[in-house]
Structure 1
Amino acid sequence: MDGDGDPESVGQPEEASPEEQPDEASAEEERPEDQEEEEEAVAAAYLDELPEPLLLRVLAALPAAELVQACRLVCLRWKELVDGAPLWLLKCQQEGLVPEGGAEEERDHWQQFYFLSKRRRNLLRNPCGEEDLEGWCDVEHGGDGWRVEELPGDSGVEFTHDESVKKYFASSFEWCRKAQIIDLQAEGYWEELLDTTQPAIVVKDWYSGRSDAGCLYELTVKLLSEHEDVLAEFSSGQVAVPQDSDGGGWMEVSTWKNSSWCLPQGNCSASHDSADSDSFCFH
């Protein structure tokens, strides 16, 4: 009992004001973060003690983007490993990208080889008409216009070069045209890669005449700046295929050049024109 005779106050501690409350809550909140940082430091120290062959295998298991954007910033040793050829050769081997009988001079450029191999694909959308004319622009319908046919179609010409191809574009009795613009950077070819590696750009197209009519065919490829100025251009010229041509079947036209054509930034534009022909499919 205190001097006021209040029994309820006996033995009860006085409540501290909000300003006097101990900072236990904040200390408890910080503790998991401190523990996490400590665990990361221990893990980093453990990895740093690994022999280089083992550390290379650990790094090779990580996504390529993390290696370049994060891991090479950890320390000087990791930077040298990420920038070196052995790590990327190992990743190429693990993912089955190593070329058979690869040239000796390629061994210093495995990082470039890795990224280019992962991006090697057909950049044209809907190349064989599986989605009608979706993805194509500047479409001009001469005569009865473009149509998509199932192989072998009215011409009766089988396509034996790729069993996955089931359809093709067929033109009419007047000039038909279609084009497509490809943004190389949007497709994953960043500016530095185009500048230093200058990967080859390959354009191929297959065309065929009909048994009941001759035809004309032309392929044009342009490399454009970011402002769509023409930096370089290829044209097959008009190719004439007479009716019942001795060659018969599907014929290929192709061109290639390294990407130094389109630096510092660039787009690739491909178009083809045909009349009375069945033509399709960039590969």
Structure 2
Amino acid sequence: MVEIGFELEDLPYGSEPLSLDVPDFNGCTSCFATSFYECKKIQEISLRKKRLLRYILNQFKPHIYVIEWAAGRYDCGCRYQLGIRGYEEDGIVDMDFDDGSIIPLFYITKEMVVQQWEGKKWEKKVVEN
């Protein structure tokens, strides 16, 4: 996992505490926190060497389901985006952008915009195909 611009807070500062009643939090009270600049968190899952998983995905075509909880701060607005991308097995597709980046087979995203003074409540964001 690559994290750019994030810090880990033991207890959220500027938003509500994480609820111990929510199973997704696994009893944790810490969270990632961003700065006043753009931050990115990237997790890449390669299926290249996982033949059984690749077989299951190709044969049964299960739904891809990704969740993350997000909250803004009470004193400033923010924009949050959760997305998933799928690429060809070898990472090569027919077309690419002018900058050389690869075009994904699919790209699904959910966005949350929080206005100033409204952002301390945690919201569950779900992305699925």
Q: TM-score, normalised by structure 2?
A: 0.74
1:82-231 residue pairs with structure 2 within 5 A? 136-137=1-2, 139-141=3-5, 146-151=6-11, 153-160=12-19, 161=22, 162-184=25-47, 186=49, 189-229=52-92, 230-231=104-105
Contact 1:214/1:241 (<8 A) preserved: yes
Aligned to 1:236: 110
Aligned to 1:16: none
* Moved beyond 4 Å, runs of 4+: 185-189
Q: TM-score, normalised by structure 1?
A: 0.36
Aligned to 1:256: 128
Change (3 A) 1:165 1:228: farther
Could you report, residue by residue, the CA deviation over 1:1-58 in whole angstroms, capped at 9, with x for unpaired residues?
A: xxxxxxxxxxxxxxxxxxxxxxxxxxxxxxxxxxxxxxxxxxxxxxxxxxxxxxxxxx
Secondary structure of 1:183's match?
coil
Structure 2 unaligned runs (5+)?
A: 93-103
Aligned to 2:97: none
Q: Which has the higher strand share?
A: 2
Q: Which has the higher contact order (CA 8 A, sep 6+)?
A: 2
Q: Which has the higher helix share?
A: 1
| d(CA) in 1 for partners of 2:69, 2:109 | 15
Aligned residues between the structures: 114
Q: Which has the larger radius of gyration?
A: 1
